[in-house]
Structure 1
Amino acid sequence: MRKLTSLCLHSVHILGDELEYFLSNSPALKRLDLIACHEIICLKIPCMLLQFQCLKVSLCWELRVIESKARNLSSFILEKGPRAIKVSLGETLQMKNLSMVRSGSDFICYARAELPSNMPKLETLSIGSSHERVATPMLPTKFLFLKHLSISPPSYDYFSLISFLDASPSLKTWLLDVRQFSFNPATIEHETIFGGSSQLRQMPEQHHGCLKSMEIKGFYSAKSLVELTCYILKNAKSLVCLKLDTTFGDPKCDILPPGAGCAEWDKDFVMEARRGAMAIRTYIQDKVLPTVKLTAVEHCRLCHPC
């Protein structure tokens, strides 16, 4: 396979050592996709793959170790896999695209502290964490080339995520996905904007001239989420689009007859989504400049009258 440049294995019964032997005899390989290959426990990318650039692993539930020694790896995507997985990527100075959404605890804090120096050429970053014991720190290190950011955090101090914005002078798009927590109000640990003091925290003004689009999926009434949104509206002078989606998915009532397309969500979830919409109207809507298009997505009241 000396001329093979791209390989995709889907539901293939192959062991890790068999795959390693195959890769060792494919010196021209540039891309490897593994999907639902359940017999691989340890994946090793050998160092002789000098042209290898892209590795994507998905739905490999038995995988426990990923070890890459490929020096020119520039894209690594790990999705829909086991949480208990050890990843070693070797030299990462060429990394431009990193996606590790289902990661272990404190990974968001680790990404902010370590990735600017370990992966200085990052342009696209998608990260998630199962639990964060501490808020994201403010640090002097920068993601100088980062243009697209996606974060799926646990329920914690969302306001601390401004650390990523302040560290990314070239950032153009930011997706924040908190649906897994807004969907289940029992997991919400932090203060709602409608409980106690409504005084919002302030940070010194930082002008961000590149951010064009911000989207928050699963927007709810967490006070720190409102504070983060208001900070962006105040400081991201180039912002064009702001989308705040209080639903758990894409509502279908806009394409089907009323009452025919919406899922039947738990009443508590719908009520929290309603509070999220109220928070938008009360604390955010009047801060949106005329140059910014605000899209607030709510459940339709015909399907969810509560």
Structure 2
Amino acid sequence: MKYTLTSQLLQSYSLESLTDLSLASVDVTGEVLEYVLSNCPFIESLHVQNTWSLKNLKTSAPLPKLKHLEILYCDYFRQIEIHAINLVSFKYVVNMTTLKAVLGDVPNFVSLSVLGSYAQYLFDNNDCSISRSLSQLETLDISYILANRFKRIPELRNLRQLKLGIYHYTNGVFNCTSFLKASPMLHTFGLKFELDYETMKVQGNTYIHRHLKFELDAEKMMAQGDTYTHQCLKVVELINFVGCFAQMQLALYVINKATSLEKIIIHTKKLSLTKVYSECTRKNLTARAINNAKELGTRLATGVELVIL
């Protein structure tokens, strides 16, 4: 059962001192949020999650204190028009290709988290505040990148942390290389492998424990003319790593590009396999994933630290 937040209900409360508002699974409209924000002069963080009622967010007055804005899983949300000059981060996880976004001048905007489909819209267009502020970013998180290639990636000279959620591997190498080339000062690069549960059901143990072939690994790709290397990348994280052939290839490719690599962190123990396997089988598959991570570790250059979690 969802609760409904109304302006009439809020009139009984003083909101002047509110700095952090988080609404999860609450029916709330844009008009009600506008009422809240207009009565919260010190609001710094706004988080709205899992509501079908929210379609837009507009405020007539500026929000000078707002620093963090998150809109998650609000499937009918299509438009945002606010003026938050001190906005630092924006997280928008909604399955919508486009979003009409007006944020005003955001000189302090440094952190963005979005789905792959919307990220491609932002990078391919330059008609909203977010698109025009991409060069400022220091942290970028893009999840669920499907098989499409990013056509245009602007120079991201301030970017220090990048996470890409790869769902299909068809153009994974191309997208990884494109982002690495666009981010010359990148320090930490995370690859999150978005697991395909349907494929895992069909292939079973084979998905985890395929014979590891390295004929098409980084050495061959570089021999084919891809000689680009990254000079500043120090840390690579592999999240949801199971060690199948496609994951191993992509990981090797990135590792071989990072000529100054100091550490690789591989996350295996927190695999979300409950949708597919029993507890006993899940433990066995996690153990195999750890073994595959160790196998990957044998391909690291001398002095690179391997951490398996």
TM-score normalized by structure 1?
0.69
Q: Residue 229 of structure 1 aligns to which amino acid in structure 2?
A: A
> 1:217–1:246: 8 Å Cα contact kept in structure 2?
yes
* 1:37-92 residue CA offsets vs partner (Å, 9 max, x unmatched): 453333334452233222123354x542241322423211134xx52475333245
Distance across 2 between alignment mates of 1:294 and 1:183: 31
How many residues align? The count is 272
Where structure 2 has 5 or more consecutive residues not aligned to the other structure, the ranges are 1-14
Q: Quote the residue 2:33 is aligned against.
A: 19
Equivalent residue of 1:142, what SS? coil
Aligned 1:105-116 pairs, distance under 5 A: 107=118, 109-110=120-121
> 1:108–1:129: 8 Å Cα contact kept in structure 2?
no
The 3 A distance-change label for structure 1 pair 183 and 276 is farther
Q: Residue 191 of structure 2 aligns to which amino acid in structure 1?
A: L
* 1:174-197 residue CA offsets vs partner (Å, 9 max, x unmatched): 221114237734599xxx885795
> 1:209–1:236: 8 Å Cα contact kept in structure 2?
yes
Equivalent residue of 1:184, what SS? helix
Where structure 1 has 5 or more consecutive residues not aligned to the other structure, the ranges are 252-260, 298-306
Distance across 1 between alignment mates of 2:119 and 2:92: 15
Distance across 1 between alignment mates of 2:292 and 2:67: 46
The 3 A distance-change label for structure 1 pair 15 and 275 is closer
> 1:65–1:86: 8 Å Cα contact kept in structure 2?
yes
Aligned 1:1-306 pairs, distance under 5 A: 1=15, 4-46=18-60, 48-60=62-74, 63-72=76-85, 73-79=87-93, 82-84=94-96, 86-90=98-102, 91=104, 94-101=108-115, 103-104=116-117, 107=118, 109-110=120-121, 117-129=132-144, 131-133=146-148, 135-136=149-150, 141-156=154-169, 157-160=171-174, 161-181=176-196, 184-185=199-200, 198=216, 200-202=220-222, 203-223=226-246, 225-245=247-267, 249=271, 262=279, 264-265=281-282, 270=285, 274=288, 281=295, 284-296=296-308
| Residue identity (%) | 21
> 1:116–1:143: 8 Å Cα contact kept in structure 2?
no
The 3 A distance-change label for structure 1 pair 109 and 153 is farther
Q: Quote the residue 1:301 is aligned against.
A: none
Distance across 2 between alignment mates of 1:216 and 1:240: 18
TM-score normalized by structure 2?
0.69
The 3 A distance-change label for structure 1 pair 277 and 116 is farther
Distance across 2 between alignment mates of 1:75 and 1:14: 22
Q: Quote the residue 2:5 is aligned against.
A: none
Bigger helix share: 2
Shift of 1:163: 1.5
Equivalent residue of 1:289, what SS? coil
